[in-house]
Amino acid sequence: MIPLVRQTYADIASLEQSLGESLDLRRVGSLHLAAAVNWERELQELADLNTLHGVALQWLPPGELPALVPWLHPDPVRVALFTPDDGYLDPYRLAQAYAHAARQQGAILLQNVAVRELLLAHGRVIGVRTTDGDYHAPQVVLAAGAWSAVLSSQAGFGIPSAPVRSQYWIAAPHPLVPRRHPFTIIPEARAYTRPEVGGLLFGLREAQSVSVDPRTVPDDLANLSFGDDLGWESLSEGTALLERFLPALPELAIQSYITGPSTYTPDGLFVLGATPGVEGLLLATGCCGAGIAASGGIGRAVAALAADQTPPFDLSPFQPGRFGAVDPFDPMFRRRCEQARSGKVSG
């Protein structure tokens, strides 16, 4: 996944150049923190992998952390891995930039047009039926996020992913939260944080994540419900863990709660490539909460496949058929996807 994410950074730079505008990428760096020995081992593995791919890294002594992240209590931190070139940006601006650049290259984007059906002939996909009529194509790329499984089931393929709840909270500005500081990833607290609109954004993963049946995802996500708890249970469950690293947490005034579906697979890896047994259908989904970070790599890989070229990345870990036949509508299968989110160690 590292090369796919690095492609996104490269694409941001070339989009800024070709469109002549800044995408306001904030290269604040990222800090992975570990308090227990087993998490230290995980970080060492992460560091080795990143080094293999030429990513600049630094181990920071815990005593230096408050200078970088004033709200962070260094005492529980055993090791801290700093990746200075990491950053974040507004995903809407990135999506708009991809769209503008695609138009400049001759792509035609149809908005407010829904695909209702995959058109099939002799076991292969030959196009799509939309609210704007039929479109035929030698290759169809299915990248419909949480809605993908319903469409692919028309072609008889069960996408091995489920829409699992992702969520974060944004707290009001606080004297210990500077406008600019590294984002942090704290697997032991199942948490990540970053600065946002002058306050602190923090995401918490539940010990038991929740998902929905893909058939129940509405067209408008504002109408999607993950149940009655509206995140309060995960907030109270997660704050106890996060408070160890962020003692000022009880003082933070929560201003916003953001939630939505992220498509997770049982192994936390994407669903990217040709659909087994269905010619003409390429899949680019199951993004496991990293679809923005890896968007450049995913796009480049699927574009190469659609043009019958060799993708510039090893896509074997992402093969759509790697779990065998699955039923994405089966609650037992969804449990496996929920567990992948709960056990995730990255941000």
Ligand X SMILES: Cc1cc2nc3c(=O)[nH]c(=O)nc-3n(C[C@H](O)[C@H](O)[C@H](O)COP(=O)(O)OP(=O)(O)OC[C@H]3O[C@@H](n4cnc5c(N)ncnc54)[C@H](O)[C@@H]3O)c2cc1C
By CB under 6 A, is residue 290 in contact with ligand X? Answer: yes
CA angle 207, 209, 212 (to 5 degrees): 165
By CB under 6 A, is residue 145 in contact with ligand X? Answer: yes
DSSP string, 177-206: --SS--EEEEGGGTEEEEEETTEEEEEE--
In angstroms, what is the minimal distance from the CB of 102 to ligand X?
14
| Helix, strand or coil, per DSSP, at residue 42 | helix
By CB under 6 A, is residue 168 in contact with ligand X? Answer: yes
Beta-carbon-side half-sphere exposure of residue 178 (alpha carbons within 13 Å): 11
By CB under 6 A, is residue 285 in contact with ligand X? Answer: yes
By CB under 6 A, is residue 291 in contact with ligand X? Answer: yes
What is the distance in angstroms between the CA of the first residue and the CA of the last residue of the chain? 13
Give the footprint of ligand X on residues 20-79 (CB under 6 A). none
* 228, two tokens: 């009655």
Q: Quick one: 152 or 239, whose CB is closer to ligand X? A: 152
Q: Quick one: 176 or 292, whose CB is closer to ligand X? A: 292
By CB under 6 A, is residue 258 in contact with ligand X? Answer: yes
Among 287, 301, 326, 340, the residue binding ligand X under the rule CB under 6 A is 287
By CB under 6 A, is residue 147 in contact with ligand X? Answer: yes
Strands (E), 79-139: 79-83, 115-121, 124-130, 133-136
In angstroms, what is the minimal distance from the CB of 219 to ligand X?
8
What's the rounded Cα separation, in Å, for the pair 72 and 65? 7
In angstroms, what is the minimal distance from the CB of 291 to ligand X?
2
Q: Which residues bind ligand X (CB under 6 A)?
A: 114-115, 143-147, 166-168, 258-260, 262, 285, 287, 289-293
